[in-house]
Amino acid sequence: MEPIGFLRTSQEKKYQLPPQPDQAQWGGVIELLQGRNYDVALRDLEGFQRIWVLWWFHKNDNWRPTTLPPRGRTGRKGTFATRSPYRPNPLGLSCLDLIAVDGLRVHVGAHDLLDQTPIFDIKPYIPRYDAFPRSKAGWHDELERQLSQSPTYRVNFSVEAALAVADREELKRHIVEVLSEDPYPHRTRRIIEYGSRYRMSCGDWRIFFQIESDRVRVEKVSLRE
Amino acid sequence: MEPIGFLRTSQEKKYQLPPQPDQAQWGGVIELLQGRNYDVALRDLEGFQRIWVLWWFHKNDNWRPTTLPPRGRTGRKGTFATRSPYRPNPLGLSCLDLIAVDGLRVHVGAHDLLDQTPIFDIKPYIPRYDAFPRSKAGWHDELERQLSQSPTYRVNFSVEAALAVADREELKRHIVEVLSEDPYPHRTRRIIEYGSRYRMSCGDWRIFFQIESDRVRVEKVSLRE
CATH superfamily of A5-130: YaeB-like (2.40.30.70)
Distance CA B92, CA B218 (A): 34
Q: How confident is the model at residue B19 (pLDDT cuts 50, 70, 90)?
A: low
How buried is residue B12: exposed, middle or buried, by Cβ count under 10 Å (0-12/13-18/19+)?
A: exposed
CB contact at 8 A, B208 and B218: yes
CB contact under 8 A, A140 and B77: no
In this prediction, residue A196 carries a pLDDT of 82
- In angstroms, what separates the C-alpha of A16 from chain B's closest C-alpha? 19
A134-164 burial, b if ≥16 CB within 10 A, otherwise e? ebebbbbbebeeeeeeeeebebebbeebeeb
pLDDT number for residue B76: 93
CA nearest to B90, candidates B60, B121, B122: B60
Residue of A nearest to B79 (CA): A41
Half-sphere exposure of B35 (CA within 13 A, CB side): 0
B136 vs A contacts (CB less than 8 Å) = 47-49
Q: Which CATH class is domain B154-223?
A: alpha beta
Of A56-60, A89-93, A158-162, B1-5, which range is least confident?
A: A56-60
The answer to whether B58 and B127 are in contact (CB under 8 A) is no
Report the DSSP beta bridge partners of residue A8: A29
DSSP A65: S
**pLDDT value for B196:** 82
How far is CA B27 from its chain centroid?
13
| CB-CB under 8 Å, B49 with A137 | yes
Q: Is the pLDDT of residue B133 over 90?
A: yes
Picking from B207, B194, B107, the residue whose alpha carbon sits closest to that of residue B160 is B207
Question: What is the distance between the alpha carbons of residues B83 and B137, in angstroms, rounded to a whole number?
Answer: 12
pLDDT in tens, A75-116: 899 999 999 999 999 999 999 999 999 999 999 998 889 999
- Residue B116's Cβ-side half-sphere holds a number of Cα atoms within 13 Å equal to 5
Rounded-to-integer distance, Cα B90 and Cα B88, Å? 6
pLDDT tens for B144-194 read 888 888 778 999 999 999 999 999 988 999 899 889 988 888 777 789 988
The pLDDT score that the predictor gives to residue B23 is: 60
Helix, strand or coil, per DSSP, at residue B212: strand
**Domain range summary for chain B, segments of one domain joined by +:** 5-130, 154-223
Dump pLDDT digits (tens) for A16-52.
666 565 566 678 999 999 999 999 999 999 999 999 9
Picking from A44, A97, A104 by the largest number of B CB atoms within 10 A of its own CB, the best residue to mutate is A44
